[in-house]
Amino acid sequence: MKTSVKVLLGCILAGVLVYLYYTEIKPVVIFGLRSDYARAIPFQKVPEGLTSLKAESCGECHREIYDEWKTSIHAHAYEDPFFQAYWKKDKNVWVCLNCHTPLENQQPTLIKEIPRGRVEKAVQEPNPQYDPEYQKESVTCAVCHVRDGVIYGPFDDSAAPHPTKFDPNFRTAQVCYRCHNVVSGPAQFYNVGPCGTYAEYEGKFFMQERGFICQSCHMPEIDRPVATNSPIRRGRKHLWRGGHDPDMVKRAVGIQVRADTASPKPGDRVGFTLTLINAGAGHKIPTGDPDRYFTVEFSVEDRQGRVLDQQTSTMGRWIMWQPAIVELYDNRLLPLASREYQFAYQLPAQAEGLKVKTRVQYHILTDKQHEMLQTKYGLTGNDPYQFVVYEREFPLSGALALALSKSDQPSAVSPQSNELSCKAGAEGYRQG
């Protein structure tokens, strides 16, 4: 057989294999299908005693809960500009709606079959009971609380003008499992699924010793009437603050900065150590969307603000997306774990006015990704996609010790060393 024929046959075979890989093996989305979120929550009818499934109808009696829900990311999971841009990038594939608008009532098509688990080959038909206005409510009340005409909840002694039923799952983390434990699929080699916060949850200290579940932080307990004119009882705020909320991120971390000399002089080499602690999260930080990451930044500036030296370190996940998804590296912090970041600078002979700036930032995505979503996929709005978690500056002079002592937390001198330090961060770190 001639060499040219062999090359041609080889190219044809390679083309067939590539075609089969992308059409039969590698999913078109960055996650696999698990049976519970591969389908929408079945159509739900309006329970007796209610006029509608709309959240506003629930808010007639559960006003405070309704007002909290309106401010939550759950209430805006569909119209969120970042979701809409990413969803457009994914060609508006239907499966994303199963977490962002989970009820069949909220979806324009019915999925009748998913051949071989291929989302792009799903057999769809129009949903005659689709309510486009209801879709905009995203993760609405009925998503968690309504099944088969009954309102499910965490209390076993409810007295309400509609049918109720106690569901013990509301008192566990299980109620979060469906959408916050997205798994990997074929040709996807994640250490944990792309949105696998549930799987990262630390079960020894936070769960067993402290008795925490997801709701402990994301739905804080509160004593109040659950409904109008009902008795005061211990319920939960419906806020779900998380990785999109700067204050929640700040509460999760503890930060300590130390200098190896108290009064640096011209010509000295000054070393700084910034310790970042996952002090308040029961899961890795950052968590959720694999694009999220932290940066730890040091810079030296003169009196005019000119940067003389700088250093940036990154904490997150490094993932190769093509031709297979392979998680190459993950240096995120486990619960209660810490990591030190070190920086040193040699002071010149003339060092007046020099200062070191330290900063920790949390990023929902990179600048490049943000620009791509804006230019190619219609990202609208000016929603922030990075937050400063911690920022301090320290003079490279005899005033360094005083600057450390004036931080948010009192300056401390370790009994084992002469290093000075300043602390800021999570409640769990300050208490422990």
**What's residue 408's pLDDT?**
46
**What's residue 407's pLDDT?**
60
**What's residue 427's pLDDT?**
42
Q: Is the pTM of this model over 0.75?
A: yes
Residue 333 DSSP label: B
- List C-alpha distances in Å: 63 to 67, 69, 93, 226, 335: 6, 10, 35, 9, 35
Q: Contact, 26 vs 189, CB < 8 A?
A: no
**What's residue 422's pLDDT?**
43
The domain locations on the chain are 29-171, 246-317+329-431
**What's residue 207's pLDDT?**
77
**What's residue 50's pLDDT?**
93
| Coil, strand or helix at 256 | strand
**What's residue 418's pLDDT?**
38
- List C-alpha distances in Å: 428 to 171, 224, 318, 389, 421: 23, 26, 28, 16, 18
Q: Is 294 exposed, middle or buried (0-12, 13-18, 19+ CB in 10 A)?
A: buried
Tokens found for residue 155: 């209390």
Identify which of 101, 122, 127, 126 has the alpha carbon closest to the alpha carbon of residue 112. 122
The tens-digit pLDDT sequence of the chain (432 residues) is 678 777 778 888 888 888 888 888 889 999 999 999 999 999 999 999 999 999 999 999 999 999 999 999 999 999 999 999 999 999 999 999 999 999 999 999 999 999 999 999 999 999 999 999 999 999 999 999 999 999 999 998 888 899 999 999 999 999 999 999 999 999 999 998 898 899 888 777 887 788 899 999 999 999 999 999 899 999 999 999 999 999 999 999 999 999 998 889 899 999 999 999 999 899 999 999 999 999 999 999 999 999 999 999 999 999 999 999 999 999 999 999 999 999 999 999 888 889 999 999 999 999 999 999 999 999 987 888 999 999 999 999 888 888 887 764 332 223 333 344 444 444 433 333
**What's residue 414's pLDDT?**
32
CATH architecture label of 246-317+329-431: Sandwich (2.60)
Tokens found for residue 360: 């920790």
Tell me how far apart the alpha carbons of residues 272 and 421 are, in angstroms, rounded to a whole number. Answer: 10
**What's residue 412's pLDDT?**
29
Q: Contact, 242 vs 218, CB < 8 A?
A: yes
Identify which of 100, 219, 103, 67 has the alpha carbon closest to the alpha carbon of residue 154. 219
Identify which of 82, 113, 70, 111 has the alpha carbon closest to the alpha carbon of residue 94. 111
Tell me how far apart the alpha carbons of residues 243 and 319 are, in angstroms, rounded to a whole number. Answer: 19
